[in-house]
Amino acid sequence: MSKIGVFVCHCGENISSTVDCEKVAATVGKYDGVAFSVDYKYMCSDPGQSIIKNAIAEKGLTGVVVAACSPRMHEPTFRKVCAEAGLNPYMCEMANLREHCSWVHEKGEATTEKAIDLVRILVEKVKYNQSLNSIKVPVTKTALVIGGGIAGIQASLDIANTGHKVILIEKDPSIGGHMSQLSETFPTLDCSQCILTPRMVEVAQHPNITLYTYAELESLEGFIGNFKAKIRKKSKSLDEKLCTGCGLCTTKCPTKKIPSEFNEGLGNRTAIYVPFPQAVPNKPVIDRIHCTYYTKGKCKICEKVCPTGAIRFDQEDQIVEVEVGAIVVATGFAVKRPDFFPEYGYGKYADVITGLQFERLASASGPTLGEIRRPSDGKIPEKIVFLACAGSRDPAKGIPYCSKICCMYIAKHAMLYQHKVHSGKSYVFYMDIRAGGKMYEEFVRRAIEDDGVNYIRGRVSKIYEKNGKLIVSGVDTLLNAMPVEIEADMVVLATAGVANEGAEELAQKLHISYDPYKFFAEAHPKLKPVETNTGGIFLAGSCQAPRDIPESVAMASGAAVKVAGLFSQDELTREPIIAVVNRQAAPVYSSCVGCFLCVSACPYQAIEKEEIKNRTGDLIKSIAKVNPGLCQGCGTCVAFCRTKSIDIQGYTHEQMYSEVMALLNEY
Amino acid sequence: MSSDSHHSGISGLGGEVLGHTDVKVSHCYQCGKCSAGCPLSEEMDYPPSVIMRMLQTGNPDLEDKVLRSLSIWVCLTCEMCFSRCPMSIDIPKMMDFLREKSLNEKKSDPKAKEIIAFHKSFLDSIKYTGRLYEIGLFVDYKARTLKILDDLALAPKMMKRGKLNIIPELIKDRSGVASIFRKANKKNKN
Amino acid sequence: MTLGFYPGCSLKGSSREYAESVLAVAEAFDIHLEEIKDWNCCGATAAHNMNKELSLALPARILSLAEKQGLTELVVPCAACYSRLTVTKHELSENPALKAVVTEANDLAYTGSVNVLNIVQMLDKYIIPNLEGKVVKPFDHKVACYYGCLLVRPHEILKFDREEDPQSMDALMLKAGATPIDWAFKTECCGAGLSVSRTSSVGRLSGKIMGDAKDRGAEAIIVACPMCHSNLDMRRDAINSYLGEKVDIPVLYITQAIGLAIGLDRKTLGLQRHFVKVSV
């Protein structure tokens, strides 16, 4: 006879405001097999846990149902409580009264009735629960970091410094990411390259880090601790071992007018190129789309001038297979091209540029060597206008969210401009100044008070060119929406930070989820900011949402700790929620008839054939067998099995039927 | 959006705007892009974004000022504000409603007298003939506003170029058109 | 081929040269424009400023009459009429209750089946494909194509061209041999409905438009709306006094310009009716 304990949680007021928890406990307490039933304000708290432990000991409970929040939130908590009290943790079930009931219904009888039903079906289920033991799997102590921007660099270094191996892949020819493009950084104005490039070198030289640049993830299989990744190393048309990075090829390449990605199109590069002088690795790749040899079949000048004979025109992409135990995704973000702002004339007027382009103008490594000169004629702009929220907070253009970093970088841009062009006038059109962060507000005030940047509250309606000036028409909303028209020499748009192109495909390869904007989704917005819903895969930096450098670095270190924590164990325990093929005594052995539909249905290749032989070694029967290390408990095989020979442990046919019958039978 | 209104509990003029036009004044975050692009903004007593703000407050005095404003009458419904609004707020539709309400409550700004007179003359013209009779419109408008001398030179020039019809174009089913006016006006007064 | 035709009031009066040129160009391409019988005024700005039901019932009557006459496609050269008819179609399809009220007021069957074409759409669909061989006298001038408000806004309803820096008229004029200029006031408002009641506003708004076209060297302004035309042409004195100089750039309907390009004579196209002499 079962002795089941039911523990109804109020979740503060989350459940009790619409569900009569007392009534739930009292009603369920009368059911067959329920030996104890109680409600309490916070069941997950220390006193709440004690109630469960004491009841298990005093009443000799054989099963526990906790009626509270989602099992995603607290199932591990309550299973641990049971284990500590000597009950097998898998004898504990959770009824989700919060997400499935109180949050989605209004207060009333029917809501309480539904809550009672939800508890009752689990009382019936738990009667059929069996003690299970968790599964041990080994851990491959190598991490894969995807993306070589500041977040990926930080995560790689942190993991590598704990003594574990790291494989870092970067899709571009060099690591460094967006941070390498920046001029100075807020709120301290220290030079971005000066603080970044030493880290890049460290990555290249670290004995625990293997760096693959110009490489992308091709596919991923496996699970936490045991991933198998295929990496596509795109052909660089170069033998990297022979190349000394002398740079002769790049100076002799005749195709010189390709807009430089690193300079955001404000400068040119050659077809064989190193993205920037401080690149890591400092070796070129051939851009096959623009290279004359690949497009027209002749040239090969680089091959002729290369002193070591390192050019390889026939080199093909290479697929490298690696085994890793954890993955850090740090693929960063993209800047939305403001082409969708025809009223601002981006793309039409050369001197309407993006914030990232301004970074290149202000950077010592940029096309103007750090002088603020406008793209159209190289003149130093005497009047410059910065527009905040050019795309962000604009549902009409498809981006309702705040890109978060713009307020700060605009203040920085205006400040840098004022420092470099003393006689210049700068204007910022803004809606709100969002400067939450250490020394951030002070930084913005400095721009306004000390550097004389004119902040105007209002959104610009239109920019057009007239007599060589850009006419910026806006209003000052703090002056009864008084019209403001500025004749500017250059306009900088703070364009929105958006998810990378291809983010969706990558998420699908990794089996991680993403939000409506295609930023990758964290497991919990507050308590699991660097975890994903897939075990062993972590997030760092702007692939999760627009982030500034300090946040990206903090996230990366957080993700690295999660990886190091995972690697601190030799074995992982996994939930025993896996499929099993039933076994019976001879002469039946199993109800499995060996049709092996399940083998083809299994997405994880976890089912194999098992041959049952007699003592003399003659084959009696072939049946299916589940490899517990590979099975993910998805249940596809159960649905395919025509003889009901496969069960998911913890979700057996018997358990499911008992739940359904509990609902169908009037009590 | 109408289901929104059930829960929103917006009262006052903002609530009426929502009920009649589906425009929710709380959607406005006061960026001012409408006022910046509005060609008539500088002739208004309250630019469009300020009108939105006044409605957001729910203050009856400010709502009254909106109905008595010149802004709602100099608005040309050129749709520039709606086209550029980051929140896709249909301000022109809202302006149509505010004008109609201002008229019904006899609150229209005296400074808008000529604009309203022109609209009335225009509608009267089509009410009786089915189509616009331009000479009739001018005469009627001048009678309403006593702006006898304005544009006096224009008519002969138009006449000379064959741009004015001496005799109105009368449609056959004038009673049908008149009936549309009757029904629409009756509805309005309720 | 026959298409439905709704001229609207202006084209019967102060903008009759627009109607003349539309009909002449259509005829040159063997298109018969069949006028809706006994049509009424769309109500224009006045109706939607004063009375919403009226502003929908008047255009609905027009569409009902077109249906009754068996017209499936309706050419509406006046941008204001085009806007009112299209908005009415949209509102009545979105809001069945409103449709019931409006059709009741009209006492005529309305299904919303008539396809409304503005003049640019009509030219693009039926004239341009056959234009090439017919151009005898390319309209070889720098032109500023002026779209105004009602042809392109609101995009959500009209779904025609783009709201900022539209290109459809420029593309047509290019085919007629013109050189369309890039300018900044393509879709700024001319003052439209305030022409009579607030002429000073029209002088300012149209003045800015004229000023930019002049600064960029336009030799003609091309329009597709009788209100834009009358403000830019008939109100030239107010414009000139705003600009403080005499600007004599002529304003042509797009059908007049295309008519000239295919060799129609100036009188057929009604060019003599303009206030500002058409010197091009």
Q: Which residue has the tokens 């000394």?
A: A244
Share of chain B above pLDDT 70, in %: 93
Strands C220-223 and C251-253: parallel
The answer on pLDDT for B190 being more than 90 is no
Residue B18 sits in the same domain as residue B83: yes
Residue B76 sits in the same domain as residue B127: no
Evaluate whether residue A583 is within a structural domain. yes
ipTM: 0.88
CA distance A464 to chain C (A): 6
Task: Indicate yes or no: CB of B32 within 8 angstroms of CB of A481.
Answer: yes
Domain count, chain B: 2
Tokens of C37: 């019988």
Fold of C2-119: Glutathione S-transferase Yfyf (Class Pi); Chain A, domain 2 (1.20.1050)
Q: Is the peptide bond before A207 cis (omega within 30 degrees of 0)?
A: no
Which positions in chain B touch C253 (Cβ < 8 Å)?
Answer: none
Average confidence (pLDDT) over A28-40: 96
Evaluate whether residue A661 is within a structural domain. no
CB C278 within 8 A of CB C250: yes
Evaluate whether residue A659 is within a structural domain. no
Tokens of A150: 């500041």
Residue A415 sits in the same domain as residue A487: yes
The answer on pLDDT for B2 being more than 70 is no
Q: Please, which residues 69-88 of chain B have a Cβ atom closer than 8 Å to chain C?
A: 74, 76-80, 82-83, 88
Minimum-distance CB partner of C164 among A342, A465, A467: A342
Residue B133 sits in the same domain as residue B68: no
Q: Give the pLDDT of residue C137.
A: 95
The answer on pLDDT for A667 being more than 60 is no
Evaluate whether residue A137 is within a structural domain. no
Average confidence (pLDDT) over A17-40: 96
Residue B9's pLDDT band, with cuts at 50, 70 and 90, is: low
Q: Is A189 exposed, middle or buried (0-12, 13-18, 19+ CB in 10 A)?
A: middle
Residue A494 sits in the same domain as residue A355: yes
Number of Cβ atoms within 10 Å of the Cβ of A319:
11
Q: For B40-81, how does the pLDDT look when each residue is reduced to its tens digit (9 = 90+)?
A: 999 999 999 999 999 999 999 999 999 999 999 999 999 999
Which positions in chain A touch B34 (Cβ < 8 Å)?
Answer: 461
Which positions in chain B touch C41 (Cβ < 8 Å)?
Answer: 126, 130-132
Strands A619-626 and A607-613: antiparallel
H/E element holding B2? helix B2-8
In one-letter notation, the amino acid at residue A616 is T
Spell out the residues 6+ positions from residue C185 whose beta carbon is closer than 8 angstroms to its own.
C146, C208, C209, C212, C213
Which residue among B108, B141, B157 closes a domain?
Answer: B108
Residue B10 sits in the same domain as residue B103: yes
Q: Does A464 touch chain C (CB under 8 A)?
A: yes
Strands C32-35 and C2-5: parallel
CA distance B96 to chain C (A): 5
Domain count, chain A: 5
The answer on pLDDT for B163 being more than 90 is no
Residue in C with minimal Cα distance to B160:
C273
State the virtual CA torsion across A456, A458, A463, A465 in degrees, nearest 10.
Answer: -30
CA distance B101 to chain A (A): 24
Strands A268-269 and A258-259: antiparallel
Residue in B with minimal Cα distance to A388:
B31
Question: Which structural domain, as residue segments, surrounds residue A555?
Answer: 142-234+317-332+500-571
Sheet containing strand C32-35, strands side by side: C32-35, C2-5, C73-75, C115-117
Residue in B with minimal Cα distance to C185:
B39
Task: Indicate yes or no: CB of B37 within 8 angstroms of CB of A462.
Answer: yes
User: What is the number of CB-based contacts under 8 A between chain A and chain B?
Assistant: 72
Task: Indicate yes or no: CB of B130 within 8 angstroms of CB of C150.
Answer: no
Task: Indicate yes or no: CB of A465 within 8 angstroms of CB of C165.
Answer: no
Residue in B with minimal Cα distance to A398:
B86
Which residue among B108, B132, B163 closes a domain?
Answer: B108
Helices (H), A377-494: 406-420, 440-449
For residue A533, which phi and psi values (nearest 5 degrees)? -75, -5
For residue B157, give the 3-state DSSP assignment: helix
Contacts of residues A438-443 at CB distance under 8 Å and 24 or more positions apart, as own/partner, are: A438/A187, A439/A187, A439/A188, A440/A186, A440/A187, A440/A408, A442/A187, A443/A186, A443/A187, A443/A408, A443/A411, A443/A412
Task: Indicate yes or no: CB of C184 within 8 angstroms of CB of A342.
Answer: no
Q: Give the pLDDT of residue B7.
A: 41
Q: Give the pLDDT of residue B188.
A: 56
- Please state, in angstroms and rounded to a whole number, the distance separating the CA atoms of residues C269 and C133: 20
Task: Indicate yes or no: CB of A459 within 8 angstroms of CB of B32.
Answer: yes
Residue A191 sits in the same domain as residue A174: yes
CA distance B49 to chain A (A): 7
Residue B88 sits in the same domain as residue B23: yes
- Please state, in angstroms and rounded to a whole number, the distance separating the CA atoms of residues C92 and A323: 62
For residue B35, give the 3-state DSSP assignment: helix
Which residue among B108, B124, B156 closes a domain?
Answer: B108
Q: Does B36 touch chain C (CB under 8 A)?
A: no
Strands A497-499 and A490-495: unpaired
Q: What is the mean pLDDT of chain A?
A: 95
Minimum-distance CB partner of B130 among C40, C198, C201: C40
- Please state, in angstroms and rounded to a whole number, the distance separating the CA atoms of residues C92 and C158: 14
Residue A394 sits in the same domain as residue A444: yes
The answer on pLDDT for B83 being more than 90 is yes
Q: Give the pLDDT of residue B82.
A: 96
Average confidence (pLDDT) over A552-581: 95
For residue A205, what are the β-bridge partners? Answer: none
Q: Residue A350's closest CA among A372, A329, A389, A377?
A: A377
Q: Which residue has the tokens 């341009």?
A: C128
Q: Does A397 touch chain B (CB under 8 A)?
A: yes
Distances (CA, A) of C73 to A550, B159, C69: 61, 34, 11
CB C8 within 8 A of CB C41: yes
Q: Residue A337's closest CA among A498, A543, A549?
A: A498
For residue A383, what are the β-bridge partners? Answer: A425
CA distance C161 to chain A (A): 13
Residue B119 sits in the same domain as residue B140: yes
Residue in C with minimal Cα distance to A340:
C164
Residue A452 sits in the same domain as residue A510: no
Which residue among A448, A467, A498 closes a domain?
Answer: A498
Residue B117 sits in the same domain as residue B84: no
Q: Residue A604's closest CA among A565, A581, A633, A574?
A: A633
Q: Is C130 exposed, middle or buried (0-12, 13-18, 19+ CB in 10 A)?
A: exposed
Q: Residue B167's closest CA among B157, B176, B159?
A: B159
CB C13 within 8 A of CB C43: no
Q: Give the pLDDT of residue B4.
A: 41
Question: Residue ranges of the domains in chain C?
Answer: 2-119, 136-273
Evaluate whether residue A156 is within a structural domain. yes
Q: Is the peptide bond before C166 cis (omega within 30 degrees of 0)?
A: no
The answer on pLDDT for B186 being more than 80 is no
Share of chain B above pLDDT 90, in %: 57
Residue B1's pLDDT band, with cuts at 50, 70 and 90, is: very low
Tokens of C97: 């209750």
CB C170 within 8 A of CB C145: yes
CA distance C126 to chain A (A): 29
Instruction: Print burial letters for A337-349: b (CB count within 10 Å at least 16), e (below 16).
Output: ebebbbbbbbeeb
Q: For C77-89, how does the pLDDT look when each residue is reduced to its tens digit (9 = 90+)?
A: 999 999 999 999 9
Residue B39 sits in the same domain as residue B133: no
Q: Which class does domain C136-273 fall in?
A: alpha beta
Task: Indicate yes or no: CB of A475 within 8 angstroms of CB of B47.
Answer: yes
Evaluate whether residue A657 is within a structural domain. no
Evaluate whether residue A242 is within a structural domain. no
Question: Which structural domain, as residue segments, surrounds residue B19?
Answer: 2-108
Q: Does A471 touch chain B (CB under 8 A)?
A: no
CATH of the domain at A629: 3.30.70.3270
Task: Indicate yes or no: CB of C40 within 8 angstroms of CB of B126.
Answer: yes
Q: Does A113 touch chain C (CB under 8 A)?
A: no
Residue B40 sits in the same domain as residue B104: yes
Q: For A253-286, how does the pLDDT look when each residue is reduced to its tens digit (9 = 90+)?
A: 999 999 999 999 999 999 999 999 999 999 999 9
Residue A67 sits in the same domain as residue A34: yes
Residue B5's pLDDT band, with cuts at 50, 70 and 90, is: very low
Residue B149 sits in the same domain as residue B160: yes
Task: Indicate yes or no: CB of A348 within 8 angstroms of CB of C215.
Answer: no
Residue A113 sits in the same domain as residue A29: yes
Average confidence (pLDDT) over C150-165: 91
Which positions in chain A touch C164 (Cβ < 8 Å)?
Answer: 342-343
Q: Give the pLDDT of residue B47.
A: 97
CATH of the domain at B29: 1.10.1060.10
Evaluate whether residue A88 is within a structural domain. yes
User: What is the number of CB-based contacts under 8 A between chain B and chain C?
Assistant: 165
Task: Indicate yes or no: CB of A465 within 8 angstroms of CB of C184.
Answer: yes
Q: Is the peptide bond before B110 cis (omega within 30 degrees of 0)?
A: no
Rg (C-alpha) for chain C, rounded Å, is 18
CB C155 within 8 A of CB C170: no
Sign of torsion over alpha carbons A516, A522, A526, A529: negative
Q: For C108-130, how does the pLDDT look when each residue is reduced to its tens digit (9 = 90+)?
A: 889 999 999 999 999 999 999 99
Tokens of A572: 């992982």
Distances (CA, A) of C213 to A25, A117, A471, C253: 80, 75, 16, 16
Q: Residue C114's closest CA among C138, C139, C86?
A: C86
Q: Give the pLDDT of residue C97.
A: 87
For residue A268, give the 3-state DSSP assignment: strand
Average confidence (pLDDT) over C192-214: 91
Share of chain C above pLDDT 90, in %: 83
The full DSSP string for A514-575 is: B-TTSPBPPSBTTTBSSB-SSTTEEE-GGGSS---HHHHHHHHHHHHHHHHHHHT-SEEEE-
The answer on pLDDT for A345 being more than 50 is yes
Listed range (A146-150, A404-408, B4-8) with the worst mean pLDDT: B4-8
Which positions in chain B touch C91 (Cβ < 8 Å)?
Answer: none
